[in-house]
Structure 1
Amino acid sequence: MDFQLSLSSESVGATQPDTPLATAPDEPLANVLGLLRAQKQAAVMVCDGAKLVGIFTERDALRLLAEGADLAAPVSSAMSTDLMTIRPETTVGQAIRLMSEGGYRHLPVVDPDDSPTGVVAVRGIVHYLVEHFPDAVYTQSPTGDRPTAEREGA
């Protein structure tokens, strides 16, 4: 399939979104950090009931730890509430554009009731691109200006 056509027609489901890790807004930060570590995830969806109200990511965790924040405080005090979400029918190309423009590494996938059904991560996008378009990925110059004449590495 053509690279451009694929990006504009395949939904984000092709990137194998992660199952969302969720917590309540009143959960202590220490517990949320332990959950992220135990589940080896980089983001947790903060939900009020089934509705997504925020996201807490590894970036938030690093900032809090550097500031010496009170880890007994609720996750709602540190979560991002200005959410960019996508729907299951969002195309891979649209997700890439949103991630690039907004500087996001995780996009929650939500249903019409704003309940999280998945999380599209940069890692999933990269795996999708490498799997579906290996020639386009492997033949790029490390500097991006021109193709290399020889293979690099050992």
Structure 2
Amino acid sequence: MDFQLSLSSESVGATQPDPPLATTPDEPLANVLGLLRAQKQAAVMICEGPQLVGIFTERDALKLLAAGSDLSAPVSSAMSTDLMTIAKDTTVGAAIRLMSEGGYRHLPVVDGDRSPSGVVAVRGIVHYLVEHFPDAVYTQSPSGDRPHAEREGA
């Protein structure tokens, strides 16, 4: 399939979004950090009932730890509430554009009532691109100025 056609027609489901890891706004930060570590995830969806109200990412955790914050405080004190979300039928190209323009590394996938059903991560997008378009990925020059005729590397 053509690279541009695929990005504009395939949904983010093709990137194999991570299942949502969720908790409540009153969960202590120490517990949320433990959850991230135990589940080997980079983002936790913060939900009130089934509805997404925030996200806490590894980037938030680094800021928190660098500031020496109180880890007994609720995650609501450190979560991001200005959320960019996408629907499961959002195209891969639209997700890449949103991530690039907004500087997001994780986009929650939500249904009509803002209930999270997954998380699209940069890692998943990269795996999708490598898997579906190896020639386009592997033949790029390191400087990005022009593609090589053959794949580089081992």
Same fold (TM over 0.5): yes
**TM-score in terms of structure 2 length:** 0.97
Quote how far apart the aligned CAs of 1:148 are. Answer: 4.2
Partner of 2:70: 70
2:16 aligned with 1:16: yes
Mapped to 2, the partners of 1:118 and 1:73 lie a distance apart of: 26
Native 8 Å contact 2:139 2:150 kept in 1: no
Mapped to 2, the partners of 1:125 and 1:134 lie a distance apart of: 13
**How many equivalent pairs are there?**
154
Mapped to 1, the partners of 2:19 and 2:53 lie a distance apart of: 17
| Unpaired runs of at least 5, structure 2 | none
| Unpaired runs of at least 5, structure 1 | none
1:145 is matched by which residue type in structure 2?
D
**TM-score in terms of structure 1 length:** 0.97
Mapped to 2, the partners of 1:149 and 1:111 lie a distance apart of: 43
Q: Using a 3 Å threshold, how does the CA distance of structure 1 residues 152 and 11 change in structure 2: closer, same or farther?
A: closer
Name the SS for the 1:64 alignment partner: helix
Mapped to 2, the partners of 1:152 and 1:92 lie a distance apart of: 26
Mapped to 1, the partners of 2:114 and 2:151 lie a distance apart of: 47
Identity of aligned residues (%): 88
Native 8 Å contact 2:23 2:44 kept in 1: yes
Native 8 Å contact 2:139 2:151 kept in 1: no
